[in-house]
Amino acid sequence: MIDYRITSKEGYDDKIGDLVTMLEYTRATILEDIEDLTPEDLDFLPDESSNSIGALLLHIAAIEFVHQVFSFENRDLNNEELLKWDTALSLGAKARAEIKNKPLEYYTKILTEIRERTLTLFKTQQDSWLYEEKPWGKMNNYWYWFHVMEDELNHRGQIRVIKRLLENHQ
C-alpha cells in the first residue's frame, strides 16, 4: 500500500528525508502502474515516433544515474557511462530499435538498483548539501533531485497514456 504522507525518514537529515519520501511515492506509483505488463506491452509503440514503456523506464533509471553523478560526484558522465546510458537518455529512433524484448523484471531490477544507490548516497549527506550550487548554471543539488522526481512523474503520465492506447489496441 502506498504511503501518501511526506515525513522524515530515519537515517536521513530532515529535508533529505522529506525528499526521499517524495521519491519513494513517485516510484511506488510507477511500479504499481506497470506491475502486470508483459514484454509485448513494454515494447508497444502507439505510433512510429513514440517511445515504449520499456524505453521510458530505462530513461527514468538513466536520469537518476546521471543526477547521482552530477550531484554526488560533481562531474559529468565519463565515456563508458555515456556509452551505457546514451540510448536511454536520448530515446527516439535508437531506443525504439534497441530497447525491447525484455521482461518487466529487467526494468524493475535496474530501477531498484539505481534507487538503492541513491538512498545510500543520500544517507551520507546533510541538508546543507541540498543547497550546494553547481558550476553548470544556476542549479543546486536540491534542484537536481526535484528534476529526477518531476521527470519520473512526467514519464508516469506518458506510461499511463500508452497503457490506455495499448488497451484500445488489443
Which three cell numbers mark 144? Answer: 537536481
Q: What is the CATH number of domain 14-169?
A: 1.20.120.450
* pLDDT tens readout for residues 42-60: 999 988 899 999 999 999 9
Mean pLDDT along residues 104-126: 97
Confidence of residue 170 (pLDDT cuts 50, 70, 90): low
* pLDDT tens readout for residues 120-169: 999 999 999 999 987 777 889 999 999 999 999 999 999 999 999 988 87
Residue-range domain boundaries for the chain? 14-169
pTM over 0.85: yes
Which three cell numbers mark 7? Answer: 515525513
